[in-house]
Amino acid sequence: MGTAPLFLVDELPTGADAVLDGPEGRHAATVRRLRVGEEITLADGRGGLARAVVDTVGRDRLDLRVVSVAVLDPPTPRVVLAQALVKGERSELAVELATEAGVDEILPWRAARCVAKWEDGARGEKALARWRTTVRSAAKQARRPWVPPVGAPVSTRELAALALRFDRILVLHESATDGLAAALTPDVREVLLVVGPEGGVSDDEIAALTAAGAVAVRLGPEVLRASTAAAVALGAIGALTSRWTPHG
């Protein structure tokens, strides 16, 4: 039996009965064509989950019987991704894969060597909206209890200023000599993972981030694409720490 489909709601149900309507209810009833007796999961995107069984199916809604409600603890260490903008559709691919791999928050990074640029105004807001839509869809696909927030784009200076929030700042760099494992000691609770653009992280950026406490690391002998590096790194972090402990 497959995993029950997940639908996002603003708030979890508080009683024994619930209604799934709006866009999610329409998708469940008319696209997924769920039937009476099937089980679904409701998530609030903040770690809250409710298991429910379909009682009746309407045109654009489901009437549900709630089986259980739980609020899960987030995984540790918490990983925030600073992802440079990647050219074309690979930009959305980068955040999609990172979300599926379990990232906790995403910060778009205005890196110096980005081929595509984060623009101010309407075009920049549209690009940011695409990232947020992609993240939401990826979280649902991965049956994640959390939808990672996507912040406003940050400069390298702003990124360096965030250093005090984190126990480790890891910059993926092809010239690094240190591996990822050595940086993930048991006391690490907050990680900032920095992934550069197609042209790589510049020397000035490495210097600024290193001065703020960052460590340059590499994942292995190969050079990964800017759109896939974060997902691979998150997989490694998941295997090296307790992040992949199954939910209770």
Q: Which residues pair with 83 in a beta bridge?
A: 108, 195
Average pLDDT of the residues in 207-226: 91
Residue 190, φ and ψ in degrees, nearest 5: -130, 125
The pLDDT tens digits of the residues spanning 229-239 come to 999 999 999 99
pLDDT of residue 39: 97
What's residue 247's pLDDT? 65
What is the SS3 assignment for 158? helix
**Integer Cα distance of 65 and 79 in angstroms:** 35
pLDDT confidence band for 139 (50 / 70 / 90): very high
Burial of 89 from C-beta contacts in 10 A (0-12 / 13-18 / 19+): exposed
The sign of the dihedral angle between the CA atoms of 196, 208, 211, 81 is negative
Segment 43-68, tens digit of pLDDT: 999 999 999 999 999 989 999 999 99
In the sheet with 105-109, reading across from the earlier edge strand, the strands are 105-109, 78-84, 190-195, 168-172, 215-218, 178-179
pLDDT at 107: 97
Q: What is the pTM of this model?
A: 0.92
Closest CA to 90 of 237, 229, 232, 234: 229
- State mean pLDDT over 1-29: 92
175-209 pLDDT, tens digit per residue, is: 888 889 989 999 999 999 999 998 889 999 999 99
122: confidence class by pLDDT, cuts 50, 70, 90: confident
Give percent above pLDDT 70 in the chain. 98
**R_g of the chain, CA atoms, integer Å:** 20
Domains of the chain and CATH, by start: 6-71 (2.40.240.20), 78-240 (3.40.1280.10)
pLDDT for residue 248:
55
**Is 214 buried (19+), middle (13-18) or exposed (0-12) by CB count in 10 A?**
buried
Average pLDDT of the residues of the chain: 92
